[in-house]
Amino acid sequence: MDEAIKEYQSALEAATQPAYRRKAYRLAQRTNADIYYNLGTAFQKKGMMDEATAQYETALRLMPDFAAANVNLGIVYGMSGSMDKAMEYFQAAVRADPDFAKARYNLGTALLRRGATEAAIEQFRAALKLNPKYAEARSNLGSAYMALGSTDNAIEHLQAAIKLKPNDADAYANLGRPSL
């Protein structure tokens, strides 16, 4: 991971040289945003959340509608307990790309944690419409139905999640709840 960080930092240094022509400016901005995003991802994987946050924020200054950077920044804020900030970034990701299943899933997860179960279900369903094999979205949809007391729906989706991802411990744990 240290090598990846060095490579991204070198690429970023090269990409920010003032040698761009006017036509290449937009492509350069996208390239720079991608580099900052990738560097943020490398920092995030190493657990260096402050550094990851700085890189994602820079990517978003260059491209505010960069859905993946919004999602990852939302995840970082969510991990730190800043759910309001996380929600802002997940919502921005959905606005930027309504067809990005990961954005829908993360927004749904944040809504579920806040007790907005109906809204969470809507997001999980949207994620599954985009990617029917999204096991985590299916599992969280089952959990949301369980929170509403809709046991049959919960079991259906949790079993489907387990079929998609047989090692999903959360789905197994949640599947055991309705029978208690």
Q: How far is it, in rounded angstroms, from Cα 170 to Cα 82?
A: 23
Q: Do both 89 and 31 map to the same domain? A: yes
Residues 137 and 71 in one domain: no
Across the chain, what does the average pLDDT equal?
Answer: 89
Q: In angstroms, how far is CA 118 from the centroid of its own chain?
A: 20
Same domain as 144, residue 64: no
Q: Which residues constitute the domain of residue 124?
A: 105-180
109/177 same-domain check: yes
Q: How far apart are CA 59 and CA 40, in angstroms?
A: 9
Three-state secondary structure call for residue 46: coil
Are 121 and 91 contained in the same domain? no
Residues 55, 39: contact at Cβ < 8 Å? yes
Per-residue pLDDT tens for 76-122? Answer: 999 999 999 999 999 999 999 999 999 999 999 999 999 999 999 99
Whether 61 and 137 share a structural domain: no
The pLDDT tens digits of the residues spanning 149-161 come to 999 999 999 999 9
Phi and psi at 175, nearest 5°, equal: -65, -30
| 89 shares its domain with 46 | yes
Rounded Cα distance, 64 and 123, in Å: 22
- Tell whether 109 and 137 lie within a shared domain: yes
Confidence of residue 22 (pLDDT cuts 50, 70, 90): very low
Residue 28: what pLDDT?
A: 57
Q: What is the CATH number of the domain that holds 136?
A: 1.25.40.10
